[in-house]
Amino acid sequence: MLPLTWILAPPIATDTRPMRQPGSLTARLARSGTVSVDVRFSGWQAARHDEAAALGLPRAGQRVYVREVCVRRNGAPAVLARSVTTRGGIYGPWKGLRTLGRKPLAALLWTDPRICRGPFEFTRLPLGTQPPARRSCFWLDGRPLIVMEAFVGLPWPAVGWLPRQRRWRATCRNQRTTGFQITTA
């Protein structure tokens, strides 16, 4: 569903808070309508270059576990999401990803206080109207889970290039850093 290479493009809108909000995106969507999840893919794929780097894999092409869904609000597509973890992650702390079915990822992410989220990265996707997208890396027991969300049917702020350099980096107590670094040119 989302066969893309991640190219950073931090947001330039004056109000980017909706895309930077901590907590469950699904819960925020549910406040203004009925939310459902359509599973588009769940299984093994080869890691893309950017995913391999973010997961700490030595090279692209290694097998990773991927779950791709379309989150709908009031029946209309709102978010396309892709979650990726390593073999150690899917057989370890992220094993619940395999059995989520039509439940939102939030059911897994926001139930364990040990889960730590790294910083957001932003881009525009080459899909139709070029929807804004974000991704971040969650950590549990030293194992990463990348979550990418493309806002295809929501009135989110515009995404583009910032005119000056900025860097964001987050570390989690007792976890590795995410390895994500957002830079602008």
Which pLDDT tens digit goes with each residue over 27-45?
A: 888 888 888 999 999 999 9
Q: For the whole model, what pTM was predicted?
A: 0.76
Domains, the chain, ordered by start: 17-151 (3.40.1410.10)
DSSP code at position 118 = -
**One-letter amino acid for residue 90 of the chain:** I
Which pLDDT tens digit goes with each residue over 107-149?
A: 889 888 999 999 888 777 666 666 778 889 999 999 999 999 8
Closest CA to 147 of 156, 160, 138: 138
More confident call, 127 vs 171: 127
pLDDT computed for residue 8 by the predictor = 62
